[in-house]
Amino acid sequence: MTQSFFADIKPARYEGSDSTNPMAFHHYNPEEIVMGKRMEDHLRFAVAYWHSFAWEGGDPFGGQTFERPWHPQDDMGCAKIKADAAFDMFDILGVPYFCWHDADIRPEGATFADSLRNFEEIIDYFAEKMESRKVALLWGTANMFSHRRWMSGASTNPDPNVFAWSAATVKTCMDATHRLGGQNYVLWGGREGYETLLNTDLTRELDHMGRFLSMVVDYKHKIGFQGTILVEPKPQEPSKHQYDYDAATCIGFLRKYGLEGEVKLNLEQGHAILAGHTFEHEIAVAASEGMLGSIDMNRNDYQSGWDTDQFPNNVPEVALAYYHILQAGGFVTGGTNFDAKLRRQSLDAEDLIASHVGSMDVCARGLKAAAAMIEDGGLDAALAERYGGWDTHAAQAMLDSDLDTIFQTVHSGEITAVPRSGRQEKLENYVNRFV
């Protein structure tokens, strides 16, 4: 590449809320202290390599709309041009992290060995670039859903040869993540599910997926990887019935196979919506079980039934998500990865920068609103009042009692059950004061 893909685009700077510059941060100030910690250290932003650089602008009804200097993505020369553009963008945005799938960063080879050779070459190239930059790897993962070999699943595939290929693929991706200092390793089972039970042994597939994940955990300890293993819930798409439907389903799966102490969740806004939940619900469920790891930040089109992966722009939604993250103690190894892509009509390099700048601002506003609510204490006070009856000696004693004893107390007339208002509207009004 003789000239940067992002030529003439200056690094994004914080200019404050009065600025009208669409390429500047109005709310994201990395150095601003929020609840005793730098904003950058709270949010831990990451750029997703797949949507920002590997995606070509297609949708279910039309093909490529983007024309990039690294197209077609079928040789190592193009892979390095793509990497040059990626690291230029990391510099412009000042993000501390990025994320990748193996298939995003290297071309597919004719054999497994060919693909691995390409992969190791680009990891070497990444390592060289990272030496002189602040950007680090939030997580790596393996794409085991795009190639036709994965059409019937990876770890759940009825063919043991595909299971073996999957295991070998994950090993190489974990090795690369470890080498680059990645803070997490993610597994998303894009094809771990089924289209019909007529050709599916559900019990066997779940057992194989559990065994596969146990192998991943064992290998983490074998190589001394200090990061967190994460699984990512998603319903329906692409498989009709996904085994990793939502946070609660994944938590049940992890407990069944004794992995709840080893694996946490990477939660995505868009996936929560597809599951019929809110993002705050999924985060709250994971946090309540001590399994909140990291998040993929985006949004879905509420009028579409598929995963549109749009950049976030809804501050109230984002604020409630960060409220539960902060209440859970904040990120440890996780962060905020923008698993979001441009609209297929947004063709310019500037669009890619503007989308991230705006989204980082939305998250910053959401974080500050969440912190303000926590510091004000209004929601905590409302919960304490609503559940205050359970803090009495009698209520705690009841939990250690039995049905007969409780029956006698109620039957004697000592207890009356009178409904009390949940005051939802007042609480919604309270939240609106901050967002």
Token pair, residue 299, equals 């949004």
Measure the CA–CA gap between 274 and 268, rounded to whole angstroms: 10
Please state whether beta strands 184-187 and 193-194 pair in parallel, antiparallel, or not at all (unpaired): unpaired
Measure the CA–CA gap between 206 and 378, rounded to whole angstroms: 43
Among residues 228, 229, 221, the alpha carbon closest in space to that of 188 is found at 229
Token pair, residue 394, equals 């009698």
Among residues 260, 259, 268, the alpha carbon closest in space to that of 295 is found at 268
Q: How many CB atoms within 10 Å of residue 161? A: 9
Instruction: Give Cβ neighbours of residue 251 (< 8 Å, ≥ 6 apart).
Output: 260, 265, 285, 286, 289, 291
Active site residues: 101, 104
Measure the CA–CA gap between 418 and 191, rounded to whole angstroms: 50
19's torsion region: left (phi>0), alpha (psi -120 to 50) or beta? beta
Measure the CA–CA gap between 197 and 419, rounded to whole angstroms: 45
Measure the CA–CA gap between 324 and 370, rounded to whole angstroms: 8
- Cβ 203 vs Cβ 251: under 8 Å: no
Measure the CA–CA gap between 323 and 321, rounded to whole angstroms: 5
Among residues 160, 220, 216, 219, the alpha carbon closest in space to that of 188 is found at 216
Please state whether beta strands 228-231 and 292-296 pair in parallel, antiparallel, or not at all (unpaired): unpaired
Residue ranges of the alpha helices (H) in 94-244?
102-105, 112-131, 160-179, 202-223
- Cβ 14 vs Cβ 29: under 8 Å: yes
Q: Report the SS3 class of residue 18.
A: coil
Q: Which amino acid is at 217?
A: V
Please state whether beta strands 184-187 and 136-141 pair in parallel, antiparallel, or not at all (unpaired): parallel
Query: Any idea what DSSP says for residue 391?
Result: G
- Cβ 37 vs Cβ 371: under 8 Å: no
